[in-house]
Amino acid sequence: MRIRAPCAPGKRNCYMGKQTEKRVVTIRHRFGIHARPAAKIVAMCNTFSADVEIVKEGEVPANGKNILDVMMLAAAPGVKLELRVNGDDAAAALERLAALMESDFDSNEI
């Protein structure tokens, strides 16, 4: 159970006083998210201290740092997922994760 701390005045979407960054991404990999892309997502998420949730519309949020949660998304090509990132390095984590998830997962640039 999460205990919510008060946010700074005027801030919304925060957890423990920290702003939650959100972005919707579209899966572009021709096979969607299967074992190999899921492993890359989890590995990247684990390089950040921020908490990462990946949400497929109408489903329970998946923990981005858990391989089984990410694979259970079963996100096919073209599926839109919402990324919710919270923590000290949330902005950097969101940028890198969004770029990875909208790529072909084989790019050396990411």
In angstroms and rounded to an integer, the radius of gyration of the C-alpha atoms of the chain is 14
User: What are 8-11's contacts with CB under 8 Å, separation 24+?
Assistant: none
Active-site residue list: 34
Q: pTM of the prediction?
A: 0.79
pLDDT by residue, tens only, the chain of 110 residues: 343 444 544 445 555 556 789 999 999 988 999 999 999 999 999 999 999 999 999 899 999 999 999 999 999 999 999 999 999 999 999 999 999 998 887 654 43
- How far apart, in whole angstroms, are the C-alpha atoms of residue 12 and residue 23? 15
What domains are defined for the chain? 15-101 (3.30.1340.10)
